[in-house]
Amino acid sequence: MTKRHELTPAAPWVELTVDQDDWDAADPQVLLQLLGRAQWIRSFEEYVLELANQGLVHGPAHSSVGQEGGAVGSVLPLRSDDFVNGSHRGHHQFLAKAFGHVLEAKSTGLPEITTEVREVLHRTLAEICGLADGYCRGRGGSMHLQWREAGAMGTNAIVGGGVPQAAGFAWNMLHSGSDAVSVTYFGDGAVNIGSVLETFNLAAAWKLPVMFFIENNQYAVSTPVAKATGEPRLSGRGAGFGIPSWRVDGMDALAVHTAMTEAVDHMRAGKGPTILEADLYRFFHQNGAFPGSAFGYRDKEEEASWRARDPIAQLRRQVVGRGLATEADIDAMTDAIDTTMQEIGDQLLEPVPGGKPRERRIIGSLWPDTDFVDVGVRGDLSELEGSRFEDEDTFAGELAQRRFIDVVSDVMARRMETDDRIVVMGEDVDGLKGGTNGATKKPLELFPDRVLGTPISENAFAGLGGGMALDGRFRPVVEFMYADFMWVAADQLFNQVAKARHMFGGDSSVPFVLRSKLAAGTGYGSQHSMDPAGILTTAPGLRVVAPSTPFDYVGLMNTALTCDDPVVVLEHVDLYTSTGPGPVDDLDYLLPVGKAAVRRTGEDLTVISYLTMVNHCLEALDQVDVSADLIDLRWLDRASLDWETIEASVRKTNQVLIVEQGAVGTSYGGWLADEIQRRLFDWLDAPVERVTGAEASPSISKVLERAAIARTDEVVDALRRIAQA
């Protein structure tokens, strides 16, 4: 007979409420701080909406009016060394964290607007208006607010995009000996996104001190929660991952504060992640100062019922009811913040000459200088100063024929020996005696605690690595088993890691290394065989290296691990079993950024290539009577390309052939050919020629796979065609 047994989740899931006895017993200073900070945020947001209505905020103004109770209730138990991030609607959490950082504890009375509080308000408003005085120098605007000193790691415009990064901060906290915690705020829309759920799983598996704070404001733009999920109690997700979860009335600041205090205690005790769902309501539409009913997806009765539960009105009643402050005291505090906002606005705005009454504009001198537009896309490489740079012709150490994959393993182990901040992570890197190809063999032998096998969740562990890098206490080395998997984690790689330094003002280092292999020709088919160089190098924040010899791999990886920019290290599986000159025991030299290698010299043609195609070019040149320079690029990204070497060769030969293995559609050579013709047109006697793979991705069929990629034969054909022209 069929039997059924009731199962219970491994982690508790509770709904927490408070009653009047709790309000009466609450610490008076907690209530006063909750009220004061919530009112400051409300007045700030109302002033932002006023400016937006006047056309003075360029871009969206996602206000948090109505949601202040969740922000102040959750941030008040945090310290400055705890970190938070949030979504596009993040003014309230950012301000709450910043206020907590600058305010000194008081024994009595409502909080007062100090010089430091005024500066927070000024710089936050300046950032929302896109001005140079903002926390991100105007680049972040309303949706990207970061203040590292206050523990604000940066809000995020991609729904759910910042969640994996918060786990990275939490990893760093846990492994640096701190009991600090990380809190990531996101909404009901983000809770169904893959990267969020992946991060739930990873955080639970690794017991990271990160809270997932779900602001359930009932609508993702206009879509109600009940239409987006079968379980509208969003904290129910926690049970599936073994994460303790709380559900509270987010309009009740004391309830949020009580649940948050319990959750923070849980995390500080080393018990792993938590989830807190706060049911609350944004009083206005997704963007701007109109209610949702104006757009037809909410009705006025619903809006009125939520407004009747205004968290600030509740705090005010309780504070007055307990005699902690009078109505006049609270009115005076509100007047003070409203006056402060008007004064700050007067510092940023001026009347429009000849304009309408009260028409204003941003004071011109406060805008960022337009010369600042590209500053901080990447760093200045000053971190490499004093390093020992070598090339094969200057290297004084012992060289021998080394297997490529052995130096991959050896140099990583050496760097982990000299820098205990380096942590390697990826799928199966901690198994199979060194991963699927042996790249982590020696690191695993020597530093098993810093070689982290991850769940299959590229978004989560790439984003976690991005958060680790932004925090800076550790240097993550993330491995994607195949380059194609980058597109699974495209948001974290392209929207997050690549843009972070520039987006947050240009000063934030992002010491992130991504290793990934290219596997065309191995029979793994269309989804495991691509060359991503052509797409990776469209992201200006990424540096991209492509080592073709054991000697180069050591020097380039050492440079990547010293650089404070994100670096993608491309490796070709064909090279792993190959041998070539490599260091026997000196693994400490670097190769300079932006320096190519000339593998062969000639007079008639400049051949440019990278990775395994360099060897195919050498084989082809041995078969065809063509006198050619062969340039191995090493560095592929726009900022690091060695134009000095390319230009010297083109001026000599007046002809160029670019050789790559992968598909023509995602070609790296297409951009490079265009740039060569723009820069060096006067020295070219013919259009730039190219060798690429076919249009299609490689297939499983051996013959179709061979037809889809370029190797020696295709280079030979191109050389003969050029020679006969």
pLDDT, one tens digit per residue, over 29-43 is 999 999 999 999 999
Q: What mean pLDDT comes out for the span 449-460?
A: 96
Q: Is residue 105 predicted with pLDDT exceeding 90?
A: no
3-class secondary-structure state, position 80: coil
257 is catalytic: no
Is 372 contained in some domain? no
Phi, then psi, of 571 in degrees rounded to 5: -130, 140
Same domain, 399 and 287: no
User: What are 173-204's pLDDT values in tens digits?
Assistant: 999 999 999 999 999 999 999 999 999 999 99
Residues 288, 321, single domain; the answer is yes
pLDDT > 80? residue 161: yes
Taking CA atoms, 313 is separated from 29, 40, 109, 307, in Å, by: 17, 14, 18, 9
473 in a domain, yes or no? yes
Same domain? For 578 and 613 the reply is no
pLDDT in tens, 411-441: 999 999 999 999 999 999 999 999 999 999 9
**Shared-domain flag, residues 495 and 533:** yes
Amino acid letter at 325?
A
Q: Are residues 340 and 401 in the same domain?
A: no
Is residue 353, in this structure, part of any structural domain at all? no
What beta strand segments (E) does 189-241 contain?
210-216, 219-220, 223-224
The predicted model gives 689-715 an average pLDDT of 94
Instruction: Quickly state the pLDDT bin for 313 (edges 50, 70, 90).
Output: very high
Q: What does the longest C-alpha to C-alpha distance in the chain come to? A: 96
Q: What is the rounded average pLDDT for all residues in the chain?
A: 96
Residues 266, 244: contact at Cβ < 8 Å? yes
pLDDT at 87 over 70: yes
Give the pLDDT confidence score for residue 107 in this predicted structure.
Answer: 66
Based on the fold, state whether residues 554 and 631 are members of the same structural domain. no
Query: What's the DSSP call for residue 491?
Result: I
108: confidence class by pLDDT, cuts 50, 70, 90: confident
Rounded to whole angstroms, how far apart are CA atoms 440 and 445?
A: 9
Work out the percent of the chain whose per-residue pLDDT is above 90: 93
Tokens of 349: 């705005």
Identify residue 391 by its one-letter amino acid code: D
Query: In degrees rounded to 5, what are phi and psi of residue 287?
Result: -145, 130
Question: Rounded to whole angstroms, how far apart are CA atoms 444 and 579?
Answer: 23
Q: Are residues 601 and 570 in the same domain?
A: no
Residue 152 DSSP code: B
Based on the fold, state whether residues 224 and 332 are members of the same structural domain. Answer: yes
- Say if strands 579-583 and 399-403 run parallel, antiparallel, or are unpaired: antiparallel
- Distance of alpha carbon 671 from alpha carbon 426, whole angstroms: 31
Query: What is the domain count for the chain?
Result: 3
- Tell whether 134 is covered by a domain: yes
Rounded Cα gap, residues 505 and 507, in angstroms: 6
Q: Residue 106: what pLDDT?
A: 67
In a domain, 356, yes or no: no
Question: Could you tell me the sign of the dihedral formed by the alpha carbons of 284, 287, 293, 299, in that order?
Answer: negative
DSSP character string of 311-353: HHHHHHHHHHHTTSS-HHHHHHHHHHHHHHHHHHHHHHEEEPT
Split at pLDDT 50, 70, 90, the class of 725 is confident
CATH number, domain containing residue 227: 3.40.50.970
Instruction: Based on the fold, state whether residues 301 and 409 are members of the same structural domain.
Output: no
Give the other-Cβ count within 10 Å of 383's Cβ: 14
Position 241 pLDDT exceeds 70: yes
pLDDT for the residue 557: 98
What CATH number has the domain bearing residue 711? 3.40.50.920
Residue 715 has pLDDT above 70, yes or no: yes
593 has pLDDT over 70 = yes
The total of other beta-carbon atoms located within 10 Å of residue 1's CB is 2
Q: 669 pLDDT exceeds 80?
A: yes
Catalytic residue among 92, 285, 528, 572: 528
Distance separating alpha carbons of residues 526 and 611, to the nearest angstrom = 20
Q: How confident is the model at residue 211 (pLDDT cuts 50, 70, 90)?
A: very high
By C-alpha distance, which of 270, 271, 267 is closest to 82? 267
SS3 state of residue 669: helix
CA dist., res. 442 & res. 69, Å (int): 51
Please check whether residue 19 lies inside any domain of the structure: yes
Residue 495, in any domain of the structure: yes
**DSSP H or E run through 616:** helix 613-623
Amino acid at 482: Y
Q: For tokens 């929302």, what's the residue?
A: 128
In a domain, 688, yes or no: yes
Residues 541 and 616 in one domain: no
Residues of the domain holding 147: 13-348
| Closest by CA position to 598, among listed 550, 650, 563 | 650
pTM over 0.75: yes
